[in-house]
Structure 1
């Protein structure tokens, strides 16, 4: 998978689709989440194919911290299934950048 392919598979479209009564998601919180995920992908792309593990983990910390802020700002809209989707997305992007880890790379900073 490439970064471009991953960008098109952000979990947010499915979240909005599955939230039939609009209790958790709206155009605003989905849009800002997409911007954060896109910025994460862009950061990893700029690091290039020979990215250092520490640089990749810095990008992971940044995206997780920003998602923590959004989750607080938008009344805890990231629940169990969203957490799993985001962790998978973040992990997949880190792997494309060259990080190989069997652990949850978001856990150290994640509050959601």
Structure 2
């Protein structure tokens, strides 16, 4: 999977569908805010080029997780178990594309959701 495909398959695509099916966990505001953070994350990873260091990649993982913590706090804690799993999968998939292979949850250290 490439970054472009990953960008088209953000967790927020499913969240929007669930919102349209009357899931009141989501709003246009929390989905748009999450989209901006995830897009920025992907863009930052792409800018690293072909041979980024683990340290460079993890810097952006930390940044995206902290920004998601802030959004979750701002929008009344809408990131629950399923959303957490979807976000973690997305974040880890992006690091894999960037070249980082890890068997552990690389978001856990900073994650509050």
> Same fold per TM (> 0.5)?
yes
Give TM class, smaller chain: over 0.9
Partner of 1:13: 13
In the TM superposition, residue 22 of structure 1 has moved relative to its aligned partner by 4.4
Partner of 1:93: 94
Give the unaligned 5+ runs of structure 2: none
Partner of 2:60: 59
In the TM superposition, residue 16 of structure 1 has moved relative to its aligned partner by 2.2
In the TM superposition, residue 26 of structure 1 has moved relative to its aligned partner by 1.1
Question: Structure 1 stretches (4+) deviating beyond 4 angstroms?
Answer: none
Cα root mean square deviation, aligned: 0.8
Matched, 1:29 2:30: yes
* TM-score, scaled to structure 2: 0.96
Partners of 1:11 and 1:22 in 2: CA distance: 15
Count how many residue pairs are aligned between Structure 1 and Structure 2: 112
In the TM superposition, residue 15 of structure 1 has moved relative to its aligned partner by 1.3
88-97 or 8-17, larger mean C-alpha shift: 8-17
Give the unaligned 5+ runs of structure 1: none
Partner of 1:38: 39
